[in-house]
């Protein structure tokens, strides 16, 4: 089943259960706490919170999502994309836990020739909030456990887990609640027995059912938050990974090998002469290329332009990582004009905007690649010299001053310096680099209090700091998206 067909099947199923099909919101949907939409519920937040009346009691959608927090996993795990589509069904004070569980079970197990997803019931595992983690659930989420039992899941396939896994919130104040997740056992070839608690590569998480009941006033970590009180209604918010379901149903190894992504790998492989499947590191690069090309395409289509401001910077990093990965695969010519059209043609069925916005997208991407190629050739010569000096001096650490100079003189981003130094077996003195960056920022701020220069825009910093899981280190990390329950 093609990815687009699976998505259609999901929303058709819920339309048949009285849900209104709501089109995907833009990735830039205007929620001030987020850089990008990172879950299907984001456009529905006011209805879940009860701050606005919902136009529908039940809704279903295929929402475009970007999770930059997952960038380091891309290509290494089988299941993390920076861009993916989240399927969801939502109830705003209408049905609740047991119905949500019944619906999910029905769709997942119904045979494919009857409109379902056709998973073998014996391969399904589920998790619920375990006992002792939440004051309102001293014995765990008994209701959810009961509903799964009633659906036919054997006790041995229901695992209780902690708040970290079975309580969902946005990573910022907003709605939250216990959740229950559905996993598919891919079989012993993928890891040890023991259910999702034992191994999340073998047991693949496909669907999270969130029972949104609480209004969170502060969120410090996945399992550390303050509850302001109950929400005005008991809501259902579910999220299923379309690409994850697709790779299982298509019988391929990972989400980059599905019909909507793999042809980009094939193109990159053809351009580089590197056969996919021949070399572990090259395979990761090819998957990164395919993933980032698609995220870049979707972000640009929704109106992001490469730049130094928060969203533009994320896009810039994604595009530059493609260029870098292709270089490491041996391709020195421009790559984006070759790769982006492949992704465009794959995504056009589901998102026709990629065609109507194309001219703008390809000219922005081409210009960005040109700029980066100039940066690369100037900075690489300096970095190579610095690497040799470092090695000759017997050190294993490239100095923070050098990294800063590369950044300051050549616009060489620190992540690139880190990556390129690592390829030569060197570390970088990041603390010193960060200190020099901070000094420079302080100077710039003192210099021009009024100038809204992007590296001195305190609002942008505050936003990213508020969202980041790690301390903000200048625009060095892509991990600026909000935390999401793992």
Residues near Mg ion, by CB under 5 A? 205, 208, 486
- Reduced to 3 states (helix: H, G, I; strand: E, B; else coil), residue 311 is helix
**Chain centroid offset of residue 398 CA:** 31
239 lies in the binding site for ligand ATP (CB under 6 A): yes
- In the list 70, 302, 368, 429, the residue contacting ligand ATP (rule: CB under 6 A) is 70
Pairing of strands 83-92, 58-66: antiparallel
Q: Which option in ligand ATP, Mg ion, none does residue 206 bind, with CB closer than 5 to 8 A by kind?
A: ligand ATP
- 264: which 2 tokens? 């980009």
Spatial distance between the Cα atoms of 74 and 289, rounded to a whole number of angstroms: 10
486 lies in the binding site for ligand ATP (CB under 6 A): yes
Q: Output 168 or 433, the one with its CB closest to Mg ion.
A: 168
Q: Output 171 or 379, the one with its CB closest to Mg ion.
A: 171
- Reduced to 3 states (helix: H, G, I; strand: E, B; else coil), residue 427 is strand
- Per-residue contact track with ligand ATP, 10 to 49, x per CB under 6 A? ----------------------------------------
Q: Which option in ligand ATP, Mg ion, none does residue 67 bind, with CB closer than 5 to 8 A by kind?
A: ligand ATP
- 418: which 2 tokens? 């880190």
Q: Contact 91/123 with Cβ under 8 angstroms?
A: no
- In the list 141, 185, 212, 243, the residue contacting ligand ATP (rule: CB under 6 A) is 243
Give the binding range for ligand ATP (CB under 6 A) out of 153-161, 205-213, 383-391, 431-439.
Answer: 205-213
b/e per residue 209-219 (b: at least 16 CB within 10 A): bbbbbbbbeeb
261 lies in the binding site for ligand ATP (CB under 6 A): no
Q: Output 311 or 407, the one with its CB closest to ligand ATP.
A: 311
186 lies in the binding site for ligand ATP (CB under 6 A): no
Give the binding range for ligand ATP (CB under 6 A) out of 22-30, 106-114, 201-209, 422-430.
Answer: 201-209
Q: Output 248 or 331, the one with its CB closest to ligand ATP.
A: 248
Spatial distance between the Cα atoms of 105 and 148, rounded to a whole number of angstroms: 8
Q: Output 171 or 413, the one with its CB closest to ligand ATP.
A: 171
- Per-residue contact track with ligand ATP, 79 to 98, x per CB under 6 A? xxx--x-x------------
254 lies in the binding site for ligand ATP (CB under 6 A): no
Give the binding range for ligand ATP (CB under 6 A) out of 16-24, 187-195, 236-244, 452-460.
Answer: 236-244
- In the list 6, 240, 293, 478, the residue contacting ligand ATP (rule: CB under 6 A) is 240
Closest residue to bound Mg ion by CB:
208
* Shortest spacing between CB 77 and ligand ATP, in angstroms: 8
Q: How many CB atoms lie within 10 A of CB 459?
A: 9
Phi-psi region of 462 (alpha: psi -120 to 50; beta: other; left: phi over 0): alpha
* Shortest spacing between CB 261 and Mg ion, in angstroms: 18
484 lies in the binding site for ligand ATP (CB under 6 A): yes
Spatial distance between the Cα atoms of 482 and 420, rounded to a whole number of angstroms: 28
- In the list 19, 45, 58, 67, the residue contacting ligand ATP (rule: CB under 6 A) is 67
Task: Please enumerate, as own/partner, the contacts of 252-257 that have beta carbons within 8 Å and a separation of 24 or more.
Answer: 253/78, 254/77, 254/78, 254/79, 254/287, 255/78, 255/79, 255/80, 255/81, 255/84, 256/75, 256/81, 256/286, 256/287, 256/290, 256/291
Residues making contact with ligand ATP (CB under 6 A): 67, 70, 79-81, 84, 86, 205-208, 239-241, 243-244, 484-486
């Amino acid at each position: 089943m093609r990815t687009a067909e699976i998505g259609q099947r999901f929303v058709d199923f819920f339309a048949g259960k009285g849900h209104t099909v709501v089109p995907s919101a833009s990735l830039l949907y205007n929620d001030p706490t987020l850089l990008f939409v990172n879950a299907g519920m984001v456009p529905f937040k006011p209805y879940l919170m009860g701050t606005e009346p919902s136009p529908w009691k039940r809704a279903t959608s295929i929402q475009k999502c970007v999770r930059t927090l997952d960038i380091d996993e891309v290509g290494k795990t089988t299941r993390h994309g920076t861009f993916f589509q989240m399927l969801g069904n939502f109830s705003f004070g209408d049905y609740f836990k047991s119905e949500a569980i019944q619906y999910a079970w029905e769709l997942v197990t119904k045979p494919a020739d009857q409109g379902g997803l056709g998973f073998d019931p014996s391969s399904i595992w589920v998790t619920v909030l375990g006992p002792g983690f939440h004051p309102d659930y001293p014995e765990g989420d008994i209701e959810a456990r009961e509903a799964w039992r009633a659906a036919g899941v054997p006790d041995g396939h229901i695992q209780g887990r902690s708040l970290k896994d079975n309580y969902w919130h946005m990573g910022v104040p907003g709605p939250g609640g216990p959740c229950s997740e559905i996993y598919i056992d891919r079989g012993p070839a993928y890891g040890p027995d023991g259910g999702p608690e034992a191994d999340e590569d073998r047991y693949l998480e496909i669907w999270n059912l969130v029972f949104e009941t609480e209004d969170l006033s502060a969120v410090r970590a996945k399992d550390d938050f303050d509850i302001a009180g109950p929400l005005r209604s008991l809501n259902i918010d579910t999220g299923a990974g379309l690409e994850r379901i697709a790779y299982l149903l298509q019988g391929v190894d990972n989400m980059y090998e599905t019909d909507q992504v793999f042809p980009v790998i094939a193109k990159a492989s053809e351009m580089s002469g590197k056969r996919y499947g021949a070399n572990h590191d090259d395979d990761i690069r090819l998957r990164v290329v395919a993933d980032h090309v698609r995220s870049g395409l979707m972000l640009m289509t929704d109106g992001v332009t490469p730049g130094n401001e928060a969203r533009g910077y994320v896009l810039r990093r994604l595009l530059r990582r493609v260029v870098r990965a292709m270089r490491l695969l041996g391709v020195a010519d421009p790559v984006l004009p070759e790769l982006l059209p492949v992704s465009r043609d794959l995504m056009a069925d589901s998102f026709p905007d990629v065609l109507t916005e194309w001219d703008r997208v390809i000219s922005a991407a081409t210009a960005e690649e040109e700029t980066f190629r100039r940066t690369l050739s100037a900075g690489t010569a300096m970095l190579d010299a610095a690497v040799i000096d470092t090695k000759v001096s017997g050190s294993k650490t490239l100095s923070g001053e050098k990294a800063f100079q590369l950044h300051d003189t050549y616009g060489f981003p620190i992540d690139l310096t880190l990556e390129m130094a690592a390829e030569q077996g060197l570390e970088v003195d990041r603390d010193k680099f960060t200190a020099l960056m901070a000094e420079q920022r302080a100077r710039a701020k003192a210099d021009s209090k009024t100038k809204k220069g992007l590296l001195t825009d305190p609002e942008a910093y505050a936003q990213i700091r508020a969202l980041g899981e790690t301390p903000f280190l200048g625009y060095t990390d892509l991990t600026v998206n909000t935390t999401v329950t793992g």
